[in-house]
Structure 1
Amino acid sequence: MSTFSRLTRATVALGLVAVALVASGCAGAGARTINGSGATFPKLFYEEAIAELEEVNDEIVVNYNAVGSGQGKKDLSAGTVDWAGSDSLVKDDEVSNFDRPFLYFPSVAAPITVSYNLPGVEGLRLSQDTLGSIFMGEIERWDDAAIATDNPDLELPSTPLTVAVRSDGSGTTSNFTKYLERAAPEVFTVTAGDTVAWPRAQAARGNAGVAHLIQDTPGAIGYVDYSDAKPSGLALASVRNRSGNYVAPSLEAASAALAGAELNDDLTYDPLDADGPEAYPITAPTYILVYETYPEDSTVENLKVWLRWVLGEGQDVAAVVDFARLPTNVLEPAQAQIDRIQVG
């Protein structure tokens, strides 16, 4: 079956999530269905993985509603889904929202691109401070001296610059702003998080929404996950990394950023602003969040099937939809953690 057919089939399945939730009364009530919601960043990967799984296992239905990391975490804590997709971690003051312990399962990783719409300008390069100044709203035109300094070989127009950002609670926003906090601390002074008080920006919902906003706005620049930015045809900037090299977003550059990632005890890790001459500096992880215990045996078994697939054969199809597979030092502990999910 073609990738297009798989994605079409998965999209149809996604449209059934609301019906499944109403019919079951609560997530996990059916023996064959598990429902998830959350990040738009890994949406295409989960759609592909779901379609591939259902081709070889007709005894399980996995639904995923891409509504943003913030909403996914809220849905899991409210008990309306069985699992959540999130690119950001649960904050300390949010842990009490969950009625029992939960687990992080890394799934894939990918670049967060700096996408722009500037006809006639290709090969844009941006240093850390210039990028921070743009998203602080301090740079208003494309021929600003800071951008010109980063791009001495480009002829930059005086086109007004429009900053495009997310309107919804977003792990992509969290990771992008965490990067700017770390890489340009003297310039970028906004507090990082799923939602941000941007000084001057236009907002759209979801990664796809930001991509469309940039497409429709000459002079726009924004942050978009690689899997949405690449097929949109948007120009992608190269960003200067810790080694001083300007690196374009790619799966290879994302894998270079993952190579040195240190895994925490809870299986979270941080590839942002990674060392390495070939590392793309805005490489973000994404996670599947599940509870350690569920009341129904069917939910536990179906979640284990889903997680074993994502962390097994699913890794082999990640690149098909522009995601980087997990390195062995992250993948193997995640696989071993699956057995911690129990009935209780």
Structure 2
Amino acid sequence: MKLQRKNRLRALSLGAVAVSGALALTACGSDDTGGGSGGGDAGSAPASNIKCDDAKGQLLADGSSAQKNAMDAWVKQFSAACGVQINYKAGGSGAGVTAFTQGQVAFAGSDSALKPEEVAASKQQCEGGQGINLPMVGGPIAVGYKLSGVDNLVLNADTLAKIFDSQITKWNDPAIAKLNPDAKLPGTKIQAFHRSDESGTTDNFTKYLKAAAPDVWGKYEGGKAWEAKGGQSAPQSSGVSAQVKQTEGAIGYMELSYAKEGMNTVDLDTGAAAPVEATVDNATKAIADAKVVGTGKDLALKLNYETKAEGAYPMVLVTYEIVCDKGNKADTLPATKAFLRYMASEDGQKILAENDYAPIPAEIIAKVRTTVDGLS
């Protein structure tokens, strides 16, 4: 099996790589429904460095499963330092945004930036303010597969789009064979898994296909709900991952942290000199050129899914924490600010690299820290 996580614990270089043009980066995952009171690799950040301020009590949050493993590590450190109980229900980006606009949670995680109608709905809960997007977690959307005898696999956007659109149905299809001349591809039926729930991971995966393979995927509008016919579905990132790991001939999309033992990941032929592996380093090379397009305190981003820059892995997502800029509930505001401040801190971002996520580039995360300090 290819050791695609060989750079997992390596310190990231956050230097920007030139990436031409930009497309809206809206991402959102949906994962396990378990609470986030621990679990995952808590990383090496000492709890003593965390500033608790007046944080106390309990925080409820919901949303992206894409960040679930990172959230577990953050919660473990923050709760140990500050004694605040945090329950992050990774029910998916769609569920998280709904819970936020209905006033059920202190903040939400979403791999897609708020839509105008969602911003309008948030004003009912954010007295004198509105919901804003704070980019906090980055990373590649890995395409995991299970195919006996094939430990290295290269696909391009066109081939991926045809696989997930049920146009390519066998692993020895000529289009796949052309990209993998040295592989012994079996005639096994392809079992393509997609998300059954509304997901920012789906949103960003299909944005990539729409941008990089427009002739195949351009007929679809895109969004958090899966549109293509055929294939099989599973709930949340953990569900897709589990199905791919146990199904011969399977392929599915998920965050890199879910593509661990039991499966290999696809290298992308982007048109660069060499195929690009799904690693946090390569994702950071793409995210580093993201542009802030939100207005005011909103920090929604745009990113280029079509980059051909060497070593840049363009199939990425950024998870936003959704919070009120003004009008947060008085009983949860201190804990919310302290927790978000920790997540955006140097120690908090360091944990991402240790859990197969990409830290947010320095220039962008600096703006996040300033915005968090001003929440009221």
Identity between Structure 1 and Structure 2 (%): 33
Q: Is the 8 A contact 2:67 2:319 kept in 1?
A: yes
In 1, Cα distance between equivalents of 2:239 and 2:325: 34
In 1, Cα distance between equivalents of 2:57 and 2:70: 21
Structure 1 partner of 2:139: 110
Could you say which structure has the greater relative contact order, defined with CA pairs below 8 angstroms and 6 or more residues apart? 2
Structure 1 partner of 2:224: 194
Q: Does 1:264 align with 2:293?
A: yes
Structure 2 partner of 1:36: 61
Structure 2 partner of 1:65: 89
Structure 1 partner of 2:99: 75
Query: Offset at 1:288?
Result: 0.4
In 1, Cα distance between equivalents of 2:60 and 2:108: 9
TM-score, with structure 1 as normaliser = 0.87
Query: Offset at 1:296?
Result: 3.5
Distance 1:47 1:252, change over 3 A: same
Q: Does 1:301 align with 2:334?
A: yes
In 1, Cα distance between equivalents of 2:299 and 2:308: 20
In 2, Cα distance between equivalents of 1:109 and 1:303: 20
Q: Is the 8 A contact 1:116 1:219 kept in 2?
A: yes
Q: Is the 8 A contact 2:293 2:302 kept in 1?
A: no
The structure carrying a bigger helix percent of its residues is: 1
What runs of 5+ residues in structure 2 fail to find an aligned partner? 1-33, 40-54
Matches within 5 A, 1:19-168: 31-58=56-83, 60-98=84-122, 99=124, 100=126, 101-168=130-197
Query: Offset at 1:244?
Result: 5.2
Structure 2 partner of 1:211: 241
In 2, Cα distance between equivalents of 1:294 and 1:93: 19
Query: Offset at 1:258?
Result: 1.7
The root-mean-square deviation of aligned C-alpha atoms, in Å, is 1.9
Query: Offset at 1:241?
Result: 2.1
From 319, 341, 347, the counterpart of 1:286: 319
From 344, 348, 351, the counterpart of 1:311: 344
Query: Offset at 1:275?
Result: 4.8
Query: Offset at 1:223?
Result: 0.3
Kindly provide the amino acid, as one letter, of the partner of residue 144 in structure 1.
D
| 1:253-309 Cα distance to aligned partner (Å, 9 max, x none) | 111112222222331223434452111121111110001233643322111101110
Distance 1:69 1:141, change over 3 A: same
Q: Is the 8 A contact 1:132 1:180 kept in 2?
A: yes
Q: Is the 8 A contact 2:240 2:252 kept in 1?
A: yes
Distance 1:275 1:108, change over 3 A: farther
Kindly provide the amino acid, as one letter, of the partner of residue 224 in structure 1.
M
Q: How many residues align?
A: 317
| 1:73-102 Cα distance to aligned partner (Å, 9 max, x none) | 000011111100010122234333322411
From 6, 10, 13, the counterpart of 2:37: 13
TM-score, with structure 2 as normaliser = 0.80
Query: Offset at 1:338?
Result: 1.1
Range with greater deviation from structure 2 (65-74 or 293-302): 293-302
Q: Does 1:172 align with 2:201?
A: yes
In 2, Cα distance between equivalents of 1:138 and 1:57: 53
| 1:162-189 Cα distance to aligned partner (Å, 9 max, x none) | 1100000101000100110000001113
Q: Is the 8 A contact 2:35 2:87 kept in 1?
A: no
Range with greater deviation from structure 2 (284-293 or 67-76): 284-293
In 2, Cα distance between equivalents of 1:167 and 1:12: 22
Query: Offset at 1:252?
Result: 1.1
In 1, Cα distance between equivalents of 2:222 and 2:339: 32
Query: Offset at 1:191?
Result: 2.1
Q: Is the 8 A contact 2:140 2:255 kept in 1?
A: yes
Q: Is the 8 A contact 2:36 2:88 kept in 1?
A: no
| 1:10-43 Cα distance to aligned partner (Å, 9 max, x none) | 967379xxxxxxxxxxxxxx95211100010000
Kindly provide the amino acid, as one letter, of the partner of residue 169 in structure 1.
E
In 2, Cα distance between equivalents of 1:116 and 1:243: 23
Q: Is the 8 A contact 2:165 2:228 kept in 1?
A: yes
